[in-house]
């Protein structure tokens, strides 16, 4: 299973990846809006958006892309590692 994480804190990126790996999930982290944002999302099984740490524009782009590709979206306000863990467990 693959998940793209949008938003989050730079210094926690490796912790996000390790947490996902423990559950057998391949995680791609996009922490900031970039010109090639939609292309970087790709076509994962799900997208997790940390809404507290990402701009409204990036959130909008992510939702548009997910809807067009029929990708499941989970939005979380908190950007903690434990929030990601709970989200992955609930899948």
Instruction: For residue range 75-85, list pLDDT tens digits in order.
Output: 999 999 999 99
Query: What CATH number is given to the structural domain containing 56?
Result: 3.40.50.720
Q: How does pLDDT run across 9-41, given as a tens digit for each residue?
A: 999 999 999 999 999 999 999 998 888 988 999
Of 61, 11, 14, give the one whose Cα is nearest residue 73.
61
- Greater model confidence, 87 or 91: 87
- Radius of gyration (C-alpha) of the chain in whole angstroms: 12
For the chain, what percent of residues have pLDDT higher than 90? 81
Domain membership of residue 47 as a residue range: 2-90
pTM of the model: 0.90
**What whole-number distance in Å separates Cα of residue 22 and Cα of residue 91?**
14
Distances, alpha carbon 76 to alpha carbons 35, 36, 39, in Å: 24, 23, 22
Number of structural domains (the chain) is 1
């Amino acid at each position: 299973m693959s998940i793209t994480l949008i938003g989050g804190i730079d210094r926690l990126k490796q912790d996000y990846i390790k947490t996902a790996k423990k559950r057998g999930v391949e995680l791609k982290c996009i922490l900031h809006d970039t010109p090639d944002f939609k292309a970087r999302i790709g076509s994962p099984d799900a997208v997790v958006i940390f809404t507290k740490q990402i701009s409204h524009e990036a959130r909008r782009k992510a939702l548009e892309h997910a809807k067009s590709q029929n990708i499941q979206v989970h939005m979380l306000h908190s950007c903690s590692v434990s929030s990601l863990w709970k989200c992955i467990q609930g899948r």
